[in-house]
Every structure is written in structure tokens, then in C-alpha cells.
């Protein structure tokens, strides 16, 4: 077994972290000595993730990110287990539809907003009141490059991520100076969520990226670790694009 680092004394809550990007974020924070509470809807896979990350430093609270009762329990359990909640990483997100916005079912649009935007606000309110208001900390919202420009066929998702980026700025303004709030906008990262975009044709999908490959969860873990560290002490309200350089192509004829 690899030896765990000394405890940093800091504690994070990462939503949607039994696999994929959230797991990569939790892994990066545990690797520097933080204790972490992870969430996810499925009890079994959440428990497996806790065991893999190290059950002496990580707890799991199962539930749906948009469920206010779950938000309350997740923050309460984090406080009970670790006595503080310095960092919140709002990572849980959904993208259930593909098609033209003209035919978008408005109930689906509402659901996308509930999970991708309102839940991030709910968790931020709760970590603020439970700890951060009096003690400081940082919040990171996992947005998407889809929130930065039109994203055909996934419009509800794109609009929700644009809202999350603006929510980031609003929270950064209101929670300063004690709490910094930033977002990360990834391009395609190899996870279950994005599998349809590259499976069976990864080389082709990666070819458009100046850095020559698709993202992996640790790429986002590294960015989240930076945005929750003293290295970014003078950064707030920003959206860090982590995209293998794909946005550079937009300006190239």
C-alpha cells in the first residue's frame, strides 16, 4: 500500500465523485493530505470509491445533487466527521438529451438546470453557512467548454454550464474576500459521461487537440487542486479552460 501524505488539515466536499472527473478531483485532494466527503447517487459504487481512496480519510454520502435534504445531510456529515469544510467542488452534472433546441422538452431543460446549476448554488449556500463564512475556503464549479460558445444539439447543457459560469462570478463577488470561487471548463475528458464522443474512434477524436490527446480525470484534478490551494490565492471569479488547447483552433482559418 502506498503511504498516505501527512494530513493537510483541510477538508473538501466533492459532488458526483464515485468515478470520472469527481473521482479524479477527490484523488488529487487526498494525495495532498486533505480529507474528503464524496457524493453520488449509487450507494455501492460510492462505497467502492471510498474504499479505493482510503476509508480513513474519505467518507461517502449517497444522494441526488439537486435534492435539498441530501445537500443538508452531505454537509452535516462532513462537519460531523471532519469538523470543517474548507473546499466545495460542485462536479455532479447531467446531459440527458441530444437534439435541436427547437424541440427541447422544457421539463428536461428544467431538470438539467436543477442538477447543473441550482444544486451547485444549494451546496454553496450550505458550505458557506456551515463553515466558509467564518473560516474562509474555496469553491470550484465544474462547468464545460460547452458553456462558452454555442454547443449544437446539447443546448440545454450548454446554457446550464454558461449559467454555472455566471453563478461562479456572482458567488465570487459575494463571498469575497474570505472564499474564492472559480470554475473549470473542460473539453472532452475520458469518462463514462463522454464515452459516446470518443469510444471506438479515440485517435480521430484526439487529432483535433493541439496537445494531441483527450483529457483524463487527473487533468481536472490538478486544476481543482490548484484552485483550492494557496498557489491561486489571488484568483477568484475565473473560469479556467482545461481543454488540451482545442479552443485555439477557433481562431485558426
Ligand X SMILES: NC(=O)c1ccc[n+]([C@@H]2O[C@H](COP(=O)([O-])OP(=O)(O)OC[C@H]3O[C@@H](n4cnc5c(N)ncnc54)[C@H](OP(=O)(O)O)[C@@H]3O)[C@@H](O)[C@H]2O)c1
Residues annotated as part of the active site? 157
Binds ligand X (CB under 6 A): choice among 71, 127, 132, 144? 144
> Per CB under 6 A, does 16 bind ligand X?
yes
* Cβ-based nearer residue to ligand X, 79 or 188: 188
Q: Which residue is nearest to ligand X (CB)?
A: 93
Stretch binding ligand X (CB under 6 A), from 33-41, 80-88, 103-111, 122-130 = 33-41
* Cβ-based nearer residue to ligand X, 18 or 239: 18
Give strand ranges (E) for the chain: 11-14, 35-40, 58-62, 87-90, 137-142, 179-186, 239-242
C-alpha to C-alpha distance for 141 and 120, rounded to whole angstroms: 7
> Per CB under 6 A, does 171 bind ligand X?
no
CA-based radius of gyration for the chain: 17
Specify the 3-state DSSP secondary structure of 215. Answer: strand
Stretch binding ligand X (CB under 6 A), from 6-14, 171-179, 182-190, 222-230 = 182-190
**CA 90 vs CA 1, 3, 138, 201: distances in Å:** 30, 28, 11, 30
Q: Which secondary-structure segment (H or E) carries 95?
A: none
Residues near ligand X (CB under 6 A):
15-22, 39-42, 45, 64-65, 91-94, 115, 142, 144, 186, 188-189, 191-194
Amino acid at each position: 500500500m502506498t503511504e498516505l501524505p501527512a494530513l493537510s488539515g483541510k477538508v473538501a466536499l466533492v459532488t458526483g465523485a464515485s468515478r470520472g472527473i469527481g473521482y479524479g478531483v477527490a484523488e488529487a485532494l487526498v494525495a495532498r493530505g486533505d480529507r474528503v466527503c464524496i457524493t453520488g447517487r449509487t450507494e455501492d459504487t460510492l462505497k467502492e470509491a471510498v474504499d479505493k481512496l482510503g476509508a480513513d480519510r474519505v467518507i461517502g454520502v449517497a444522494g441526488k445533487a439537486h435534492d435539498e435534504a441530501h445537500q443538508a445531510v452531505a454537509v452535516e456529515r462532513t462537519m460531523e466527521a471532519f469538523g470543517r469544510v474548507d473546499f466545495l467542488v460542485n462536479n455532479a452534472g447531467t446531459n440527458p438529451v441530444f437534439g435541436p433546441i427547437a424541440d427541447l422538452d422544457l421539463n428536461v431543460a428544467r431538470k438539467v438546470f436543477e442538477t447543473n446549476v441550482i444544486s451547485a448554488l444549494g451546496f454553496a449556500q450550505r458550505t458557506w453557512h456551515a463553515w466558509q463564512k467564518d473560516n474562509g475556503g474555496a469553491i470550484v464549479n465544474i462547468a464545460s467548454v460547452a458553456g462558452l460558445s454555442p454547443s449544437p444539439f446539447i443546448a440545454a447543457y450548454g446554457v446550464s454550464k454558461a449559467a454555472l459560469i455566471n453563478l461562479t462570478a456572482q458567488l465570487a463577488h459575494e463571498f469575497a474576500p474570505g472564499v474564492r470561487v472559480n470554475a473549470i471548463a473542460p473539453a472532452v475528458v475520458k469518462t463514462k459521461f463522454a464515452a459516446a464522443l470518443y469510444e471506438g474512434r479515440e485517435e480521430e477524436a484526439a487529432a483535433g487537440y493541439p496537445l494531441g490527446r483527450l483529457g483524463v480525470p487527473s487533468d481536472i484534478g490538478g486544476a481543482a487542486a490548484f484552485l483550492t490551494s494557496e498557489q491561486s490565492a489571488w484568483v477568484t471569479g475565473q473560469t479556467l479552460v482545461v481543454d488540451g488547447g482545442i479552443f485555439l483552433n477557433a481562431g485558426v482559418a
